[in-house]
Amino acid sequence: MTTVDGEQHEREAETFLKAAGLTLVARNWRCRLGEIDLIMKDGATLVFIEVRKRQSQRFGGAIASIGAQKQAKLQRAIGLYLSALPNTPACRVDAVLFDGKSAPVWEKNVFGA
């Protein structure tokens, strides 16, 4: 996914999630450990969102592209983000997936944490 393409899908994901009632906290939060595409609030829950795009479902589609290495990198970045907060809120990791030309799919709690 190119940077321009990635930014477009992140904006689409943000719009999609706002329509579902989430509110934006941060977009493209970066640190020395990695990047978090979107950070949003779902009620009192802080939600870290990974946006993934793949041309097709071949090889498992967008969800399969969030492998163990990517998960570990995200978890380290999330840990750093949370360490700067005075209190740790309830939180989860979601993904908004774009496969081919289909509508976005919102997968909640993708790490099961």
Please list the alpha-helical segments (H only) found in the chain: 3-19, 61-64, 68-83
Angle, CA of 11, 16 and 17, to the nearest 5°: 100
Q: Domain coordinates of the chain in residue numbers? A: 3-99
Q: Mind listing the pLDDT tens digit of every residue in the chain (113 residues)?
A: 445 566 888 999 999 999 999 999 999 999 999 999 999 999 999 999 999 876 656 655 676 667 788 889 999 999 999 999 999 999 999 999 887 777 898 999 998 64
pLDDT at residue 102, as a whole number: 74
Length of the chain: 113
Q: Rg of the chain over CA atoms, in angstroms?
A: 13
The reply to whether CATH 3.40.1350.10 applies to domain 3-99 is yes
